[in-house]
Chains A and B, each alone.
Chain A
Amino acid sequence: MTANQEGAARGGRRSAYNFAYLDEQSKRMIRRCILKAMAVPGFQVPFGSREMPLAYGWGTGGIQLTASIIGPDDRLKVIDQGADDATNAVSIRRFFKKVTGVETTEQTSAATIIQTRHRVPETALEERQILIYQVPSPEPLKRLEPREAETRKMHAYGEYGLMSVQLYEDISRFGHIATTNSYPVMTNERYLMSPSPIPKFDNPKLGKNPAIQLFGAGREKRIYAVPPYTQVRSLDFDDHPFKVQRWTQSCSLCGATESYLDEILMDDKGQRMFVCSDTDYCATRKESQQASSNDGTSGSPAHPSREAEKGPNS
Protein backbone atom coordinates (compact mmCIF):
# COMPACT_ATOMS: atom_id res chain seq x y z
CA MET A 1 0.00 0.00 0.00
CA THR A 2 1.38 3.40 -0.94
CA ALA A 3 0.38 4.92 2.41
CA ASN A 4 2.60 2.50 4.25
CA GLN A 5 5.48 2.97 1.86
CA GLU A 6 5.42 6.75 2.08
CA GLY A 7 5.10 6.74 5.85
CA ALA A 8 7.61 4.00 6.50
CA ALA A 9 10.19 5.83 4.44
CA ARG A 10 10.08 8.61 7.02
CA GLY A 11 11.71 8.35 10.41
CA GLY A 12 11.40 4.57 10.72
CA ARG A 13 7.66 4.43 11.25
CA ARG A 14 6.32 1.01 12.23
CA SER A 15 4.31 -0.05 9.19
CA ALA A 16 2.38 -2.72 11.10
CA TYR A 17 -0.01 0.04 12.18
CA ASN A 18 -1.96 2.48 10.08
CA PHE A 19 -0.36 5.94 9.99
CA ALA A 20 -0.95 7.58 13.40
CA TYR A 21 -2.29 4.32 14.91
CA LEU A 22 -6.03 4.99 14.51
CA ASP A 23 -7.91 3.38 11.64
CA GLU A 24 -9.30 5.70 8.96
CA GLN A 25 -12.93 5.33 10.02
CA SER A 26 -12.11 6.39 13.60
CA LYS A 27 -10.13 9.37 12.32
CA ARG A 28 -13.05 10.42 10.12
CA MET A 29 -15.47 10.22 13.05
CA ILE A 30 -13.13 12.32 15.22
CA ARG A 31 -12.52 14.80 12.39
CA ARG A 32 -16.26 15.35 11.99
CA CYS A 33 -16.56 15.98 15.74
CA ILE A 34 -13.67 18.47 15.59
CA LEU A 35 -15.49 20.48 12.91
CA LYS A 36 -18.69 20.53 15.00
CA ALA A 37 -16.64 21.63 18.00
CA MET A 38 -15.09 24.42 15.92
CA ALA A 39 -18.55 25.56 14.77
CA VAL A 40 -19.90 25.72 18.33
CA PRO A 41 -16.99 26.98 20.47
CA GLY A 42 -16.97 25.56 23.99
CA PHE A 43 -19.70 22.97 23.36
CA GLN A 44 -18.66 19.45 24.39
CA VAL A 45 -19.23 17.20 21.36
CA PRO A 46 -19.64 13.53 22.32
CA PHE A 47 -17.41 11.16 20.35
CA GLY A 48 -16.70 7.44 20.16
CA SER A 49 -13.47 7.43 22.13
CA ARG A 50 -11.27 4.51 21.08
CA GLU A 51 -9.07 2.23 23.15
CA MET A 52 -5.55 3.54 22.95
CA PRO A 53 -2.37 1.76 24.01
CA LEU A 54 -2.28 3.99 27.11
CA ALA A 55 -4.59 3.94 30.10
CA TYR A 56 -7.37 6.52 30.34
CA GLY A 57 -6.02 9.47 32.29
CA TRP A 58 -2.73 9.51 30.38
CA GLY A 59 -3.93 11.82 27.67
CA THR A 60 -5.95 9.49 25.47
CA GLY A 61 -8.29 12.29 24.40
CA GLY A 62 -5.42 14.49 23.31
CA ILE A 63 -3.70 11.56 21.63
CA GLN A 64 -6.80 10.73 19.59
CA LEU A 65 -7.09 14.36 18.47
CA THR A 66 -3.42 14.49 17.51
CA ALA A 67 -3.68 11.15 15.69
CA SER A 68 -6.66 12.41 13.68
CA ILE A 69 -5.03 15.61 12.48
CA ILE A 70 -1.32 14.82 12.22
CA GLY A 71 0.35 14.40 8.82
CA PRO A 72 3.85 13.56 7.62
CA ASP A 73 4.79 17.24 7.29
CA ASP A 74 3.92 18.18 10.88
CA ARG A 75 6.38 18.91 13.66
CA LEU A 76 5.04 17.75 17.00
CA LYS A 77 5.80 19.14 20.44
CA VAL A 78 4.44 17.46 23.57
CA ILE A 79 4.53 19.09 27.00
CA ASP A 80 3.50 17.97 30.45
CA GLN A 81 3.02 20.88 32.88
CA GLY A 82 5.17 22.97 30.56
CA ALA A 83 8.04 20.48 30.45
CA ASP A 84 9.14 18.57 27.35
CA ASP A 85 11.02 15.98 29.40
CA ALA A 86 8.36 14.78 31.86
CA THR A 87 7.18 11.17 31.71
CA ASN A 88 3.82 11.76 30.02
CA ALA A 89 5.32 14.06 27.39
CA VAL A 90 8.20 11.71 26.60
CA SER A 91 5.98 8.64 26.23
CA ILE A 92 3.44 10.41 24.01
CA ARG A 93 6.19 11.91 21.87
CA ARG A 94 7.75 8.44 21.47
CA PHE A 95 4.37 6.95 20.64
CA PHE A 96 3.85 9.37 17.77
CA LYS A 97 7.43 8.95 16.60
CA LYS A 98 6.74 5.23 16.39
CA VAL A 99 3.35 5.38 14.66
CA THR A 100 3.87 8.39 12.37
CA GLY A 101 7.61 8.94 12.03
CA VAL A 102 7.04 12.71 12.10
CA GLU A 103 9.65 15.16 13.25
CA THR A 104 9.37 16.22 16.89
CA THR A 105 10.62 19.43 18.44
CA GLU A 106 10.88 21.11 21.82
CA GLN A 107 10.66 24.61 20.35
CA THR A 108 7.23 26.13 20.69
CA SER A 109 7.70 28.38 17.66
CA ALA A 110 8.89 25.49 15.44
CA ALA A 111 5.97 23.17 16.23
CA THR A 112 2.87 22.87 14.04
CA ILE A 113 1.01 20.75 16.61
CA ILE A 114 1.54 21.08 20.36
CA GLN A 115 -0.09 18.52 22.63
CA THR A 116 -0.20 19.76 26.19
CA ARG A 117 -1.06 18.53 29.62
CA HIS A 118 -2.12 21.40 31.89
CA ARG A 119 -0.13 24.36 30.53
CA VAL A 120 -0.25 26.86 27.66
CA PRO A 121 3.26 27.62 26.36
CA GLU A 122 4.67 31.01 27.42
CA THR A 123 5.76 31.81 23.85
CA ALA A 124 2.79 33.32 22.03
CA LEU A 125 1.32 31.02 19.38
CA GLU A 126 0.82 31.92 15.74
CA GLU A 127 -1.81 31.29 13.11
CA ARG A 128 -2.04 27.70 11.90
CA GLN A 129 -0.41 26.27 15.00
CA ILE A 130 -2.71 23.81 16.76
CA LEU A 131 -2.72 23.44 20.54
CA ILE A 132 -4.25 20.18 21.79
CA TYR A 133 -5.20 19.94 25.46
CA GLN A 134 -5.47 16.67 27.36
CA VAL A 135 -8.60 17.03 29.45
CA PRO A 136 -9.30 14.76 32.42
CA SER A 137 -12.69 16.24 33.29
CA PRO A 138 -14.41 18.32 30.60
CA GLU A 139 -17.55 19.17 32.58
CA PRO A 140 -17.07 22.40 34.57
CA LEU A 141 -20.36 21.83 36.42
CA LYS A 142 -19.60 18.29 37.55
CA ARG A 143 -18.58 19.17 41.10
CA LEU A 144 -21.77 21.19 41.48
CA GLU A 145 -24.15 18.83 39.70
CA PRO A 146 -22.99 15.21 39.36
CA ARG A 147 -25.86 14.10 37.07
CA GLU A 148 -24.79 14.43 33.47
CA ALA A 149 -28.38 14.52 32.22
CA GLU A 150 -28.76 17.69 34.29
CA THR A 151 -25.48 19.36 33.34
CA ARG A 152 -26.27 18.83 29.65
CA LYS A 153 -29.58 20.64 30.16
CA MET A 154 -27.79 23.42 32.04
CA HIS A 155 -25.53 23.90 29.01
CA ALA A 156 -28.46 23.63 26.60
CA TYR A 157 -30.39 26.40 28.31
CA GLY A 158 -27.40 28.45 29.46
CA GLU A 159 -28.28 27.96 33.14
CA TYR A 160 -25.00 28.81 34.76
CA GLY A 161 -26.12 30.50 37.96
CA LEU A 162 -24.78 27.62 40.05
CA MET A 163 -21.21 28.41 38.99
CA SER A 164 -21.56 32.02 40.09
CA VAL A 165 -22.83 30.79 43.45
CA GLN A 166 -19.74 28.60 43.79
CA LEU A 167 -17.44 31.55 43.07
CA TYR A 168 -19.44 33.74 45.46
CA GLU A 169 -19.10 31.11 48.21
CA ASP A 170 -15.34 31.26 47.69
CA ILE A 171 -15.45 35.01 48.24
CA SER A 172 -17.62 34.78 51.34
CA ARG A 173 -15.37 32.10 52.84
CA PHE A 174 -11.88 33.20 51.78
CA GLY A 175 -12.37 36.81 50.74
CA HIS A 176 -11.35 36.06 47.17
CA ILE A 177 -12.05 33.50 44.41
CA ALA A 178 -9.88 30.60 45.58
CA THR A 179 -9.98 28.53 42.35
CA THR A 180 -6.44 28.49 40.93
CA ASN A 181 -6.72 25.90 38.17
CA SER A 182 -9.57 24.72 35.90
CA TYR A 183 -10.83 28.26 36.40
CA PRO A 184 -14.17 28.32 34.55
CA VAL A 185 -14.48 30.41 31.40
CA MET A 186 -17.34 31.57 29.20
CA THR A 187 -16.57 30.82 25.56
CA ASN A 188 -18.02 33.02 22.83
CA GLU A 189 -20.47 34.31 25.49
CA ARG A 190 -22.47 31.09 25.26
CA TYR A 191 -20.90 27.98 26.78
CA LEU A 192 -19.36 27.58 30.19
CA MET A 193 -16.15 25.66 29.59
CA SER A 194 -13.43 24.02 31.62
CA PRO A 195 -10.07 25.13 30.25
CA SER A 196 -8.67 21.75 31.46
CA PRO A 197 -6.65 22.07 34.66
CA ILE A 198 -4.34 24.77 33.36
CA PRO A 199 -3.36 27.30 36.03
CA LYS A 200 -5.60 30.37 35.90
CA PHE A 201 -2.38 32.17 34.98
CA ASP A 202 -2.87 30.75 31.47
CA ASN A 203 -6.57 31.68 31.14
CA PRO A 204 -5.90 35.04 29.42
CA LYS A 205 -4.02 33.17 26.65
CA LEU A 206 -7.17 31.21 25.65
CA GLY A 207 -9.07 34.17 24.25
CA LYS A 208 -8.27 35.89 20.94
CA ASN A 209 -5.47 33.40 20.36
CA PRO A 210 -4.42 33.14 16.68
CA ALA A 211 -3.90 29.36 17.04
CA ILE A 212 -6.58 26.65 16.89
CA GLN A 213 -7.20 25.15 20.34
CA LEU A 214 -8.70 21.66 20.61
CA PHE A 215 -9.62 19.86 23.83
CA GLY A 216 -9.91 16.07 24.08
CA ALA A 217 -11.23 14.00 26.97
CA GLY A 218 -10.76 10.28 26.20
CA ARG A 219 -12.37 8.72 29.25
CA GLU A 220 -15.26 11.19 29.25
CA LYS A 221 -15.59 10.92 25.45
CA ARG A 222 -15.84 14.62 24.72
CA ILE A 223 -14.18 16.98 22.23
CA TYR A 224 -14.45 20.75 22.37
CA ALA A 225 -12.65 23.63 20.75
CA VAL A 226 -11.78 27.30 20.86
CA PRO A 227 -11.28 28.58 17.30
CA PRO A 228 -8.79 31.40 16.67
CA TYR A 229 -9.83 34.91 17.75
CA THR A 230 -12.69 33.63 19.90
CA GLN A 231 -13.75 35.55 22.96
CA VAL A 232 -13.01 33.62 26.15
CA ARG A 233 -13.91 35.31 29.44
CA SER A 234 -12.83 34.06 32.85
CA LEU A 235 -15.84 34.30 35.17
CA ASP A 236 -15.62 37.00 37.83
CA PHE A 237 -17.62 39.73 39.58
CA ASP A 238 -17.44 43.50 39.09
CA ASP A 239 -16.07 43.96 42.62
CA HIS A 240 -13.87 40.85 42.41
CA PRO A 241 -12.29 41.01 38.95
CA PHE A 242 -10.35 38.04 37.57
CA LYS A 243 -6.66 38.19 38.49
CA VAL A 244 -3.78 35.85 37.65
CA GLN A 245 -1.12 34.63 40.07
CA ARG A 246 1.99 36.79 40.54
CA TRP A 247 5.26 35.86 42.18
CA THR A 248 7.65 38.03 44.16
CA GLN A 249 10.47 35.71 43.00
CA SER A 250 11.91 35.43 39.50
CA CYS A 251 13.11 32.27 37.75
CA SER A 252 16.41 31.09 39.33
CA LEU A 253 17.67 29.78 35.98
CA CYS A 254 16.74 32.46 33.45
CA GLY A 255 15.58 35.35 35.59
CA ALA A 256 12.14 35.56 33.99
CA THR A 257 9.68 37.65 35.97
CA GLU A 258 6.63 37.18 33.78
CA SER A 259 6.42 33.39 33.43
CA TYR A 260 4.57 30.76 35.46
CA LEU A 261 6.96 29.52 38.17
CA ASP A 262 7.24 26.10 39.82
CA GLU A 263 8.46 25.95 43.40
CA ILE A 264 11.11 23.28 43.97
CA LEU A 265 12.21 22.19 47.44
CA MET A 266 16.02 21.91 47.55
CA ASP A 267 16.70 20.21 50.88
CA ASP A 268 15.10 19.19 54.17
CA LYS A 269 15.75 22.59 55.71
CA GLY A 270 13.10 24.27 53.64
CA GLN A 271 15.39 25.86 51.08
CA ARG A 272 13.57 26.31 47.81
CA MET A 273 13.97 27.69 44.34
CA PHE A 274 11.55 28.95 41.71
CA VAL A 275 11.96 28.00 38.05
CA CYS A 276 9.92 28.47 34.89
CA SER A 277 7.44 25.64 34.36
CA ASP A 278 7.88 26.07 30.57
CA THR A 279 11.24 24.38 29.94
CA ASP A 280 11.55 25.55 26.32
CA TYR A 281 10.87 29.17 27.27
CA CYS A 282 13.44 28.99 30.08
CA ALA A 283 16.12 27.25 27.96
CA THR A 284 15.66 29.71 25.10
CA ARG A 285 16.05 32.66 27.43
CA LYS A 286 19.20 31.14 28.96
CA GLU A 287 20.66 30.47 25.51
CA SER A 288 20.06 34.01 24.35
CA GLN A 289 21.53 35.40 27.57
CA GLN A 290 24.65 33.25 27.09
CA ALA A 291 24.94 34.22 23.44
CA SER A 292 24.71 37.91 24.23
CA SER A 293 27.17 37.68 27.13
CA ASN A 294 29.63 35.65 24.99
CA ASP A 295 29.90 38.12 22.16
CA GLY A 296 29.47 41.10 24.42
CA THR A 297 26.46 42.52 22.59
CA SER A 298 23.24 42.69 24.48
CA GLY A 299 21.04 43.37 21.49
CA SER A 300 21.44 40.09 19.62
CA PRO A 301 19.65 37.25 21.38
CA ALA A 302 19.99 33.78 19.85
CA HIS A 303 16.31 33.69 18.88
CA PRO A 304 15.35 37.29 18.21
CA SER A 305 12.07 36.35 16.61
CA ARG A 306 11.03 34.24 19.58
CA GLU A 307 11.95 37.01 22.00
CA ALA A 308 9.71 39.32 20.03
CA GLU A 309 6.84 36.85 20.19
CA LYS A 310 6.30 37.15 23.91
CA GLY A 311 2.71 38.22 24.20
CA PRO A 312 1.28 40.62 26.75
CA ASN A 313 0.24 37.71 28.94
CA SER A 314 3.38 35.60 28.74
Chain B
Amino acid sequence: MSAMETAGIEPGFRDPVFDSQHTFRCILDAFGYVGRAQVLSRANTRIGPLDPATIAVCLTLTDFETPIWLDPVADSKPVRDFLAFHCGVTVTSAEASSFAIVGNPASMPRLDQFALGTDLEPQCSTTLVIQVPAFDGGPLVRLRGPGIQSDISLAIPSLPSWFWEDWQANHELYPIGVDVLFTCGSSVLALPRSVSVEV
Protein backbone atom coordinates (compact mmCIF):
# COMPACT_ATOMS: atom_id res chain seq x y z
CA MET B 1 0.00 0.00 0.00
CA SER B 2 1.44 3.33 -0.98
CA ALA B 3 1.85 5.97 1.70
CA MET B 4 -0.93 8.54 1.79
CA GLU B 5 -0.31 12.23 2.05
CA THR B 6 -2.40 13.05 5.13
CA ALA B 7 -1.52 16.71 5.49
CA GLY B 8 -4.51 18.88 4.64
CA ILE B 9 -7.11 16.16 5.25
CA GLU B 10 -9.95 17.58 7.33
CA PRO B 11 -10.96 15.84 10.56
CA GLY B 12 -13.97 13.49 10.47
CA PHE B 13 -16.43 13.07 13.31
CA ARG B 14 -15.30 14.67 16.55
CA ASP B 15 -16.34 11.50 18.36
CA PRO B 16 -16.53 8.61 15.87
CA VAL B 17 -18.48 6.21 18.13
CA PHE B 18 -21.24 8.51 19.33
CA ASP B 19 -21.49 10.80 16.31
CA SER B 20 -21.89 7.89 13.89
CA GLN B 21 -24.47 6.29 16.22
CA HIS B 22 -26.46 9.52 16.37
CA THR B 23 -26.20 10.04 12.62
CA PHE B 24 -27.28 6.47 11.94
CA ARG B 25 -30.38 6.86 14.10
CA CYS B 26 -31.34 9.95 12.08
CA ILE B 27 -30.84 8.00 8.84
CA LEU B 28 -32.90 5.13 10.27
CA ASP B 29 -35.67 7.60 11.13
CA ALA B 30 -35.43 8.97 7.59
CA PHE B 31 -35.97 5.46 6.18
CA GLY B 32 -38.73 4.81 8.72
CA TYR B 33 -40.58 8.09 8.26
CA VAL B 34 -40.24 8.57 4.53
CA GLY B 35 -40.51 12.07 3.12
CA ARG B 36 -39.71 13.78 6.43
CA ALA B 37 -36.32 15.47 6.67
CA GLN B 38 -34.07 14.55 9.62
CA VAL B 39 -31.41 16.94 10.92
CA LEU B 40 -27.97 15.42 11.48
CA SER B 41 -26.84 17.56 14.39
CA ARG B 42 -23.41 15.88 14.50
CA ALA B 43 -22.63 16.68 10.85
CA ASN B 44 -20.09 19.48 10.80
CA THR B 45 -17.49 18.91 8.10
CA ARG B 46 -17.86 20.25 4.57
CA ILE B 47 -15.40 18.84 2.03
CA GLY B 48 -15.10 20.64 -1.30
CA PRO B 49 -18.56 20.64 -2.91
CA LEU B 50 -20.04 18.15 -0.42
CA ASP B 51 -22.38 19.30 2.36
CA PRO B 52 -21.91 18.20 5.99
CA ALA B 53 -24.86 15.77 5.68
CA THR B 54 -23.32 14.05 2.64
CA ILE B 55 -20.01 13.68 4.45
CA ALA B 56 -21.70 12.48 7.67
CA VAL B 57 -23.58 9.78 5.72
CA CYS B 58 -20.27 8.57 4.22
CA LEU B 59 -18.56 8.57 7.62
CA THR B 60 -21.45 6.62 9.14
CA LEU B 61 -22.15 4.00 6.48
CA THR B 62 -19.13 3.45 4.25
CA ASP B 63 -15.92 1.51 4.81
CA PHE B 64 -13.59 -0.92 3.01
CA GLU B 65 -16.55 -3.22 2.29
CA THR B 66 -18.48 -0.60 0.32
CA PRO B 67 -16.99 0.62 -2.96
CA ILE B 68 -18.37 4.02 -3.84
CA TRP B 69 -18.95 5.97 -7.03
CA LEU B 70 -18.35 9.73 -7.17
CA ASP B 71 -19.99 11.92 -9.77
CA PRO B 72 -17.72 14.40 -11.64
CA VAL B 73 -18.59 17.19 -9.17
CA ALA B 74 -17.85 15.10 -6.09
CA ASP B 75 -14.80 13.43 -7.61
CA SER B 76 -12.04 15.73 -6.45
CA LYS B 77 -8.76 15.18 -4.64
CA PRO B 78 -9.94 16.53 -1.26
CA VAL B 79 -13.04 14.26 -1.34
CA ARG B 80 -11.09 11.19 -2.46
CA ASP B 81 -8.39 11.78 0.17
CA PHE B 82 -10.93 12.43 2.91
CA LEU B 83 -12.99 9.29 2.17
CA ALA B 84 -9.90 7.12 1.68
CA PHE B 85 -8.42 8.27 4.96
CA HIS B 86 -11.51 8.23 7.20
CA CYS B 87 -13.59 5.47 5.64
CA GLY B 88 -11.06 3.38 3.72
CA VAL B 89 -13.35 3.24 0.70
CA THR B 90 -12.31 2.43 -2.83
CA VAL B 91 -13.76 4.37 -5.75
CA THR B 92 -15.43 2.28 -8.44
CA SER B 93 -17.88 2.46 -11.36
CA ALA B 94 -21.58 3.29 -10.94
CA GLU B 95 -22.83 -0.24 -11.62
CA ALA B 96 -20.40 -1.79 -9.12
CA SER B 97 -20.93 0.69 -6.32
CA SER B 98 -22.58 0.17 -2.93
CA PHE B 99 -22.96 3.90 -2.48
CA ALA B 100 -23.03 6.60 -5.14
CA ILE B 101 -22.33 10.20 -4.21
CA VAL B 102 -24.07 12.67 -6.50
CA GLY B 103 -22.92 16.27 -6.07
CA ASN B 104 -24.77 17.63 -9.08
CA PRO B 105 -28.14 15.89 -9.59
CA ALA B 106 -28.85 17.74 -12.86
CA SER B 107 -26.21 15.70 -14.71
CA MET B 108 -26.51 12.39 -12.87
CA PRO B 109 -26.73 9.06 -14.75
CA ARG B 110 -30.14 7.38 -15.18
CA LEU B 111 -31.17 5.24 -12.21
CA ASP B 112 -30.77 1.96 -14.10
CA GLN B 113 -27.06 2.68 -14.58
CA PHE B 114 -26.47 1.74 -10.93
CA ALA B 115 -26.46 -1.69 -9.28
CA LEU B 116 -30.08 -2.84 -8.93
CA GLY B 117 -29.62 -6.16 -7.16
CA THR B 118 -31.24 -9.41 -8.27
CA ASP B 119 -34.42 -11.33 -7.41
CA LEU B 120 -32.40 -13.52 -5.05
CA GLU B 121 -30.29 -10.69 -3.65
CA PRO B 122 -32.21 -7.42 -3.81
CA GLN B 123 -29.92 -6.08 -1.08
CA CYS B 124 -26.98 -5.95 -3.53
CA SER B 125 -28.02 -2.59 -4.97
CA THR B 126 -26.60 0.92 -4.90
CA THR B 127 -27.74 3.45 -2.33
CA LEU B 128 -27.62 6.86 -4.01
CA VAL B 129 -26.68 9.82 -1.87
CA ILE B 130 -27.99 12.77 -3.87
CA GLN B 131 -27.07 16.23 -2.67
CA VAL B 132 -29.74 18.84 -3.48
CA PRO B 133 -29.83 22.59 -2.76
CA ALA B 134 -33.14 22.39 -0.84
CA PHE B 135 -35.95 19.99 0.07
CA ASP B 136 -38.70 22.26 -1.23
CA GLY B 137 -39.44 24.52 -4.18
CA GLY B 138 -39.26 21.86 -6.89
CA PRO B 139 -42.07 20.17 -8.78
CA LEU B 140 -44.61 18.61 -6.45
CA VAL B 141 -44.88 14.82 -6.26
CA ARG B 142 -46.94 12.60 -3.99
CA LEU B 143 -45.41 9.57 -2.26
CA ARG B 144 -47.11 6.44 -0.95
CA GLY B 145 -45.77 3.29 0.63
CA PRO B 146 -44.21 1.83 3.77
CA GLY B 147 -43.10 4.54 6.19
CA ILE B 148 -45.89 6.89 5.11
CA GLN B 149 -49.19 6.97 6.99
CA SER B 150 -51.38 7.75 3.99
CA ASP B 151 -49.46 9.93 1.56
CA ILE B 152 -46.94 12.77 1.72
CA SER B 153 -45.93 15.38 -0.81
CA LEU B 154 -42.38 16.25 -1.71
CA ALA B 155 -40.96 19.04 -3.90
CA ILE B 156 -37.24 18.48 -4.33
CA PRO B 157 -35.67 20.97 -6.75
CA SER B 158 -32.75 20.54 -9.20
CA LEU B 159 -33.52 16.94 -10.10
CA PRO B 160 -33.26 15.98 -13.79
CA SER B 161 -36.58 16.03 -15.66
CA TRP B 162 -36.59 12.24 -16.03
CA PHE B 163 -36.03 11.58 -12.33
CA TRP B 164 -39.56 10.76 -11.15
CA GLU B 165 -40.33 8.78 -14.28
CA ASP B 166 -37.20 6.72 -13.62
CA TRP B 167 -38.16 6.44 -9.98
CA GLN B 168 -41.51 4.92 -10.88
CA ALA B 169 -39.73 2.46 -13.19
CA ASN B 170 -37.37 1.68 -10.31
CA HIS B 171 -40.34 1.12 -8.00
CA GLU B 172 -41.95 -1.22 -10.53
CA LEU B 173 -38.89 -3.47 -10.32
CA TYR B 174 -39.51 -3.83 -6.58
CA PRO B 175 -38.03 -5.61 -4.62
CA ILE B 176 -35.10 -4.95 -6.97
CA GLY B 177 -33.97 -1.35 -7.25
CA VAL B 178 -31.91 1.50 -5.85
CA ASP B 179 -32.59 3.45 -2.67
CA VAL B 180 -32.02 7.19 -2.46
CA LEU B 181 -30.91 9.37 0.40
CA PHE B 182 -31.27 13.06 -0.39
CA THR B 183 -28.91 15.34 1.52
CA CYS B 184 -29.01 19.10 1.93
CA GLY B 185 -26.92 21.14 4.36
CA SER B 186 -27.01 18.97 7.45
CA SER B 187 -30.36 17.26 6.75
CA VAL B 188 -31.28 13.96 5.11
CA LEU B 189 -34.47 12.63 3.55
CA ALA B 190 -34.86 9.04 2.41
CA LEU B 191 -36.61 7.54 -0.60
CA PRO B 192 -36.55 3.75 -0.29
CA ARG B 193 -37.42 1.64 -3.34
CA SER B 194 -40.68 0.50 -1.70
CA VAL B 195 -42.17 3.97 -2.16
CA SER B 196 -44.25 4.78 -5.23
CA VAL B 197 -44.62 8.25 -6.64
CA GLU B 198 -47.43 10.14 -8.35
CA VAL B 199 -46.34 13.21 -10.33
Interface residues of A (CB under 8 A from B): 2-3, 6-7, 18-19, 24-25, 27-29, 31-36, 38-41, 43, 45-46, 68-72, 127-128, 130, 152-153, 156-157, 188, 190-191, 212, 226-231
Contacts and interface: CB of A to CB of B under 8 A. Distances in A.
B120 A153 contact: yes
Nearest to B24: A31
B146 A41 contact: yes
A130 to B, nearest CB: 8
Contact of A227 (B14, B22, B25, B146): B146
Given A31-B60, A41-B146, A43-B122, A228 B32 contact: yes
B147 A40 contact: no
The size bracket of the interface on B is: 35 or more
Interface of B: 14-18, 20-22, 24-25, 27-29, 31-34, 60-61, 63, 65-66, 98, 118-120, 122-123, 127, 145-149, 174-175, 179, 192-194
25 contacts: A3-B16, A19-B18, A24-B17, A27-B20, A31-B60, A32-B66, A35-B28, A35-B61, A35-B127, A38-B147, A39-B179, A45-B123, A46-B123, A69-B25, A69-B28, A70-B21, A130-B28, A227-B146, A228-B32, A228-B33, A228-B146, A229-B146, A229-B147, A229-B149, A230-B146
B146 A36 contact: no
Given A25-B63, A33-B123, A156-B119, A6 B18 contact: yes
B27 A35 contact: yes
A-B pairs, top 5 by smallest CB distance, nearest first, are A39-B192, A3-B17, A156-B119, A230-B146, A38-B31
B61 A32 contact: yes
A223 to B, nearest CB: 10
B64 to A, nearest CB: 8
Contacts of A6: 15, 18
B31 A227 contact: yes
Interface centre among A36, A69, A128, A188 (most CB of B within 10 A): A36
A27 B66 CA distance: 14
Contact of A38 (B22, B32, B118): B32
Contact of B175 (A40, A72, A231): A40
A229 B148 contact: yes
Interface centre among B17, B27, B63 (most CB of A within 10 A): B17
A35 B179 contact: yes
A41 B147 CA distance: 10
Contacts of A231: 146
Contacts of A127: 33
A34 B192 CA distance: 12
A153 B21 CA distance: 35
Interface centre among B18, B20, B60 (most CB of A within 10 A): B18
A188 B146 contact: yes
Given A31-B24, A156-B120, A40 B194 contact: yes
A32 B147 CA distance: 18
A18 B21 CA distance: 13
Contacts of A68: 24
A3 B15 contact: yes
A39 B27 CA distance: 12
A158 to B, nearest CB: 9
A126 to B, nearest CB: 12
A18 B65 contact: no
Contacts of A43: 122-123, 175
A149 to B, nearest CB: 9
Contacts of B27: 35
A292 to B, nearest CB: 34
A311 B20 CA distance: 34
A96 to B, nearest CB: 14
